[in-house]
């Protein structure tokens, strides 16, 4: 019996399905069930004169440029060039590459988002505001470029003649501060600077070539982030936390969705700014860790390289990382926020508060809370006990508060001093140490090695939680507390 011919559409759909296994830009549309292709295109558009740069940066219209920092390093480090050198190159008429920006066709009234070039724009803006000043070599390059104009316009102009007089001196090259110059000279300076713009758009089509207008914002972020990495592969290296911050992976989007919650400010004392990137790295790597995709403490360059290579694009449908996120989103974060915003207090040791130099303690505490709630979910089945409630009316119970405080003190006490002793003990952490000193030894060991799998480190957290529960609930037995 001869098989029926496959329709051209089904053939293309089948090919798309096969290609999707190798090409991350071909994905199945959850709404239609058909495969779609995302494609990035770019073209050069009208350059921006220096004279209108500030209005362009301030504009909220389509002609504006929005300098978001999600996909750029926060520092001003550049490979081989300082901010003054970059500005001097612009001011002497050199081409400094394109400013790349994303233009969302579905949001025609919003400003274009800068993907690459934020620092160059910021340096030029600082020069226009008089905050960035050129000196020495960069100043000499500037004056050489504009010397002819200065000579031609010096007649009867006291300010220009003062500049020329200073330039004739052999002592020191006068500095270049834009706001010190008269308007005519400012116009002359701006005439040498043209800021090239490269505009990027992203289209989505199905296997029939039809345009899909309801495109996935997460996929769009992933595409222009990958574009940013290609542009910058030979520029100043970014810190791993910057690469994690800009990752288009589902792990990062989940982490980024919670780091701004008040819980982290109220519970850990972690504020905004650079702390957010460090916190994001802690949560993102915790999600990878619980899924067994990385080892404890495995941050740094190697993990960043794997993220760049899209090795961690999607969280598995049934995964511990999704349990982790559901637990924090639906229980820990909202309940703790409500409790602390209403004036409730949790007495945590200083070693838990803040993120500077204490990232490991924060990570340990986040994992402790996750494992503690996992234990509490186990109900009585003839062998395991039913723990007292952790929440009542969506507020943490006194029992949960005591467990948290005891666990936090044990975590911050599990650090040996230079003499090899645990000298930061509290009465509660000392009690836990008396119950099982190996917990502290193992936690301290993990801090120094930091390369253990979940299967290796889970037992120590489970033992810690069992002892913390027994300390606060003496009727409990080790064998009754399950995970």
Tens-place pLDDT, residues 54-110: 999 888 888 888 886 555 554 455 555 788 989 999 998 887 788 888 887 777 788
**196-223 per-position pLDDT tens digit:** 998 888 888 888 888 887 777 767 777 7
- As a whole number of angstroms, the distance between CA 109 and CA 61 comes to 6
How confident is the model over 354-410, as pLDDT tens digits?
A: 765 567 888 899 999 999 998 887 754 555 566 788 899 989 999 999 999 999 999
For the record, the structure tokens of 440 come out as: 């502290």
pLDDT more than 70, % of the chain: 83
Q: For residue 16, is pLDDT > 80?
A: yes
Which helix (H) or strand (E) segment is 204 a member of? strand 194-206
- Least confident among 54-63, 98-107, 301-310, 448-457: 448-457
* Half-sphere exposure (Cβ direction) of 196: Cα atoms closer than 13 Å: 10
Question: Cα torsion for 372, 377, 383, 387, to the nearest 10°?
Answer: 70
Q: Quick one: DSSP state of residue 39?
A: E
> Is 289 exposed, middle or buried (CB count within 10 Å of its CB: 0-12, 13-18, 19+)?
buried
- Mean residue pLDDT of the chain comes to 82
Number of DSSP helices (H) and strands (E) in the chain, helices first: 20, 8
Contact present, 68 and 47 (Cβ < 8 Å): no
- Burial of residue 380 (CB within 10 Å: 0-12, 13-18, 19+) is exposed
Segments making up each domain of the chain, as ranges: 13-133+177-231, 240-480
Q: Could you say which DSSP state residue 209 is in?
A: S
Q: Which helix (H) or strand (E) holds 28?
A: strand 26-28
Per-residue pLDDT tens over the stretch 321-341: 999 999 999 999 999 999 999
The pLDDT assigned to 6 comes to: 47
Q: Per-residue pLDDT for 3 more than 70? A: no
| pTM recorded for the entire structure | 0.59
pLDDT at 339: 93
């Amino acid at each position: 019996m001869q098989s029926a011919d496959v329709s051209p559409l089904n053939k293309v759909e089948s090919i798309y399905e096969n290609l999707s296994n190798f090409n991350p830009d071909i994905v199945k549309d959850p709404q239609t069930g058909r495969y779609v292709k995302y494609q990035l295109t770019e073209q050069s558009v009208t350059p921006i004169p220096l004279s209108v740069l500030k209005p362009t940066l301030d504009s909220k219209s389509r002609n504006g440029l929005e300098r978001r920092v999600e996909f750029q390093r926060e520092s001003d480090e550049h490979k081989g060039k300082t901010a003054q050198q970059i500005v001097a190159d612009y001011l002497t008429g050199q081409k400094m590459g394109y400013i790349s920006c994303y233009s969302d066709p579905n949001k025609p009234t919003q400003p274009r988002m800068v993907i690459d070039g934020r620092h160059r724009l910021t340096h030029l803006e600082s020069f226009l505001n008089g905050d960035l000043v050129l000196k020495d070599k960069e100043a000499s390059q500037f004056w050489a470029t504009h010397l002819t104009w200065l000579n031609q316009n010096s007649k009867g102009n006291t300010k220009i003649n003062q500049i020329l007089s200073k330039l004739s001196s052999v002592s020191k090259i006068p500095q270049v501060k834009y706001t010190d110059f008269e308007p005519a000279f400012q116009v002359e300076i701006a005439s040498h600077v043209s800021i090239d713009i490269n505009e990027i758009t992203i289209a989505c089509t199905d296997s029939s070539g039809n345009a899909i207008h309801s495109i996935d914002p997460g996929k769009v972020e992933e595409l222009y982030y990958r574009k940013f990495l290609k542009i910058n592969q030979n520029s100043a290296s970014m810190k791993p936390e910057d690469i994690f911050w800009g990752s288009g992976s589902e792990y990062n989007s989940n982490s980024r969705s919670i780091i701004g919650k008040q819980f982290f400010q109220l519970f850990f004392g972690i504020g905004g700014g650079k702390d957010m990137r460090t916190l994001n790295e802690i949560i993102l790597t915790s999600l990878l860790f619980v899924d067994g995709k990385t080892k404890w403490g495995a941050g740094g360059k190697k993990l960043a390289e794997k993220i760049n290579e899209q090795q961690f694009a999607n969280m598995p449908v049934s995964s511990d990382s999704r349990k982790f996120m559901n637990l924090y989103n639906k229980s820990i974060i909202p309940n703790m926020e409500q409790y602390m915003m209403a004036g409730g207090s949790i007495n945590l040791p200083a070693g838990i508060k803040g993120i500077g130099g204490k990232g490991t303690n924060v990570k340990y505490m986040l994992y402790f809370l996750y494992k503690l709630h996992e234990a509490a979910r186990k109900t009585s089945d003839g062998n395991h006990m039913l723990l007292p409630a952790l929440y009542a009316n969506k507020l943490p119970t006194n029992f949960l508060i005591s467990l948290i405080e005891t666990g936090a003190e044990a975590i911050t006490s599990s650090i040996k001093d230079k003499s090899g002793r645990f000298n930061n003990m509290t009465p509660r952490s000392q009690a836990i140490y008396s119950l099982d000193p190996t917990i502290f030894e193992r936690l301290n060991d993990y801090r120094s090695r930091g390369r253990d799998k979940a299967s290796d480190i889970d037992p120590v957290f489970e033992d810690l939680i069992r002892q913390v529960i027994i300390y606060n609930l003496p009727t409990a037995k080790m064998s009754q507390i399950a995970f």
